Amino acid sequence: MTTTPSLRDLQHELETLFSIGGETDHADRLADAAGRLPIGGDDRLAPADRLGIYTGMIFVRIRDAIAEDFPATRTALGDDAWEDLIARYLRAHPTDHPDLRLAPRHLPGFLRATGPGPLAELAELEWALMESFTAADSTVLRATTLADLAPDAWPEMLVRATPSLRLLTPRSDVDRNRRRLLDGEEVELRPTSPYALRVWRRDLRVFHKRIDPLEHGALQLLRSGVTFADLCAWLADHDESDPSEVAVRLLQAWLADELLVAP
Amino acid sequence: MQTSGNLEIGIGLRSAHFGELLERPARVGWFEAVSENFMMDGGRPLHVLEHVRRDTPVVFHGVSMSIGGTDPLDDGHLSALADLASRFEPAWISDHLCWTGARRHNLHDLLPLPWTEEVLEHVAERVARVQDRLARHLVLENVSSYLTYEHSTLGEAEFLAALAHRADCHILLDVNNVYVSAYNHGFDARAYIDAMPRDRVVQIHLAGHTDMGTHLLDTHDTFVCPDVWDLYRYTLDRLGRVPTLIEWDGNVPPLTTLEEEADRARTIWKNVFGESGAGGIGDDHTFAA
């Protein structure tokens, strides 16, 4: 015997029910809901079958959408483990944003808390690539602009990194592992010595590159912007070489990679 | 930039075609962009949208407004939509007559509503608020559905027509969705089309679906089937020159395949209205933003 719930109560019941994709007591819960809710059925499909169409479809859509942004993580896990991961992830972090693209934004942290480190790092890299891909646009600082700068303007010149910059400090060969996984190679994910990676967008394409600890530290400063004088001072504190020389070397590399934003 | 136009046949703007669209213009009259896919700070998708928008009219089509939901309307989402509209000046903005989540959880599916007077009042009030916020008519699309509610007192077409009248909104009539839902629930697809108020229908969707044996699934991953083409012809006969869009979201084929599917729609359009497009019985659907 079903009663007629309010629209709000109906939606709350269905929201709970439609979130159970990937759970083992799926069929029992569908049958129970079909007995309580005013869902129509016919000879072809009983009410529980009709509810089940949505339950399956919703889980598969979200699972597959997340897989698009984590192709290597998914490949590393394989189909069954990926499905299990996403079911567990969605129970811990139900999708709460209108943009499906943002559904997996907690996935790297979830993996970091619950899974092996190298796998979490793979997911962190793939999410950084996605974030960089859609980060705010900016006007690139060109070498010609610096060439025109008066010598006395250099110390106060603001050096700022593109909003698409992401910095990672993995402890596994995450960049190479990702490439191998995408190329279809068998990969054993295991820890290695720590290093630093920068991820950034150039000409609408996203790149990543290994960097040394000095550049990593400098780029952390550049994310919020720093004057050239303060950058040189920081380099003097962290490197024994001539800070101006190091700053110029780094600047040249960053300009070539279109990593800096015009003031 | 164009802000309106006498639109005929368009296709969805999909990331699979971004590279080609930067190289050459598509052989279609207009594009439909999924609003949420462009609610981002920057990068390639917005660059491509800007590029195509220079020469081609665009409309925005949302999937997450949850106009039939009982959670409060998402002000952040509406603000993002308003910002997008301000930047790209779409000919119109559409979303779906459905709910998409509850308790702040988004299921990312287009879920059917009970068709009752109480729900009609609820949705009409929310449509009015959205239209005030966006300062334009909202266009709402009928969704494919796989279940009905026993306490519905109205038919879906009756509900949609009444909503358009009561809330002063427009209709995006998805002909494939009518066909799919008619099969799944055993109603007459042509009677549904007949019930549409012709002065409210501003856009048509056409798409492919999959026969699952017990039901049809709205998959958007294949060609429009012959029965839906027939229903499209019937719809143009009844409703006039309504701008029509080919939707293809899964297993997206090359751009040329979509252009050829658009050609099929254009051929039917010309058969119905004449080669010049001036011989039809319908109104000239030209809409300002």
* Beta pairing class for B93-96 and B138-141: parallel
Do residues B131 and B167 make contact, with C-beta atoms less than 8 angstroms apart? Answer: yes
ipTM confidence: 0.92
Q: Taking the CB of residue A262, how many other CB atoms lie within 10 A of it?
A: 11
Give CA–CA dist B35/B130, Å, rounded. Answer: 15
Structure confidence by residue, pLDDT tens digits, B228-263: 999 999 999 999 999 999 999 999 999 999 999 999
Q: Are A122 and A72 in contact (CB under 8 A)?
A: yes
Q: Name residues 6-65 of chain A within 8 A of B (Cβ).
A: 7-8, 10-12, 14-15, 18-19, 38-40, 42, 44-45, 47, 49-51, 53-54, 57-58, 61-62, 65
Using DSSP bridges, classify how beta strands B105-111 and B99-102 pair: parallel, antiparallel or unpaired.
antiparallel
Could you tell me if A38 and A135 lie in one domain?
no
In this model, does residue B14 exceed pLDDT 70? yes
Closest CA to B103 of B129, B66, B140, B62: B66
Q: What is the pLDDT of residue B181?
A: 98
Contact residues on chain B for A97, CB-CB shorter than 8 A: 106
Structure tokens at B78: 């509406």
- For residue B137, name the pLDDT band (cuts at 50, 70, 90): very high
A257 and A130 inside one domain: yes
User: How does pLDDT run across A45-91, given as a tens digit for each residue?
Assistant: 999 999 999 998 999 999 999 999 999 999 999 999 999 999 999 99
Cα B9 from chain centroid (whole Å): 13
Residues A185, A226, single domain; the answer is yes
Same-domain status, A256 and A174: yes
Q: What pLDDT was estimated at residue A2?
A: 63
Q: How confident is the model at residue B2 (pLDDT cuts 50, 70, 90)?
A: very low
Q: A243-256 and A213-224 are packed helices; what angle lies between their axes, rounded to 10 degrees?
A: 70
**Residue B25: φ, ψ to 5°:** -75, 145
Asked if B162 and B197 touch (Cβ cutoff 8 Å), the reply is no
Per-residue pLDDT tens for A217-230? 999 999 999 999 99
Q: A178: pLDDT confidence band, cut at 50, 70 and 90? A: very high
Contacts of A164 in chain B (CB under 8 A): 42-43
Q: Is residue A107 predicted with pLDDT exceeding 70?
A: yes
Residue A249 is part of a domain; what is its CATH number? Answer: 3.90.930.50
Q: Which domains does chain B have, with CATH numbers?
A: 5-287 (3.20.20.150)
pLDDT score recorded for residue B283: 45
pLDDT band of residue B25 (cuts 50, 70, 90) is very high
Same domain for A110 and A140, yes or no, is: no
Q: At what angle are helices A107-114 and A117-133 packed, to 10 degrees?
A: 170
What phi, psi does B222 have (nearest 5°)?
A: -155, -175
Of B195, B249, B189, nearest to B61 (Cα)?
Answer: B249
Six token digits for residue B57: 């009219």
Same domain, A181 and A223: yes
Domain residues for the domain of A194 are 117-263
- Of A89, A115, A141, which residue is a domain's last? A115
Q: Is A116 exposed, middle or buried (0-12, 13-18, 19+ CB in 10 A)?
A: middle
Q: Are residues A74 and A164 in the same domain?
A: no
